[in-house]
């Protein structure tokens, strides 16, 4: 089973976590679209309730839709700290600021995201260096 869309973390209950745990899937995906809504407690609740501690947990983070760069970074750092794997989704990419595209390049390239812990240390040169050294990056 693979849900490719982000599930709504706000709907997490003990009962539906048990049902999710029964499914054979390598990764569960959630979404955090509204930066004005603090979903920290919901993500923590899921992490506590799930019996599948080793299951990969991804979160689609919507950017360029009523969010600031600071709000986007906050969600990325917080999710990583809680053991979730953020994935940047850019709303209306042609109008997105360069910093949002750069954020996507850092977060969504998991090899770089795993090595470069702070966005301020990410440089497009690093990305190009990884591309030339690692196949599939």
3-class secondary-structure state, position 13 = coil
The domains of the chain are located at: 7-133
Longest dimension (CA), the chain: 47
Residue 128 has pLDDT above 60, yes or no: yes
Tokens of 48: 């506590």
C-alpha–C-alpha distance, residues 89 and 96, integer Å = 11
Residue 133 has pLDDT above 80, yes or no: no
Backbone angles phi, psi at 24, to 5 degrees: -90, 100
Residue 80 has pLDDT above 90, yes or no: yes
Evaluate whether 57 touches 43 at the Cβ level (below 8 Å).
no
Residue 6 has pLDDT above 90, yes or no: yes
Residue 118: count of CB within 10 angstroms of its CB: 9
Alpha helices in 1-137 (DSSP H): 14-22, 40-49, 69-81, 98-107, 110-115, 124-133
């Amino acid at each position: 089973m693979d849900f490719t869309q982000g599930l709504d973390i706000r709907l997490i209950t003990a009962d539906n976590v048990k049902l999710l745990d029964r499914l054979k899937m390598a990764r569960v995906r959630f979404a955090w679209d509204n930066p004005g809504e603090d979903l920290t407690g919901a993500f923590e609740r899921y992490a506590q309730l799930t019996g599948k501690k080793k299951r990969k947990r991804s979160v689609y983070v919507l950017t360029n839709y009523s969010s600031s760069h600071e709000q986007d970074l906050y969600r990325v750092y917080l999710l990583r700290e809680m053991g979730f794997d953020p994935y940047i989704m850019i709303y209306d990419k042609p109008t997105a600021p360069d910093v949002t595209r750069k954020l996507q390049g850092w977060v969504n390239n998991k090899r770089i995201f795993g090595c470069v812990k702070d966005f301020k240390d990410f440089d497009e040169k690093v990305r190009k260096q990884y591309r030339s050294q690692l196949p599939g990056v």
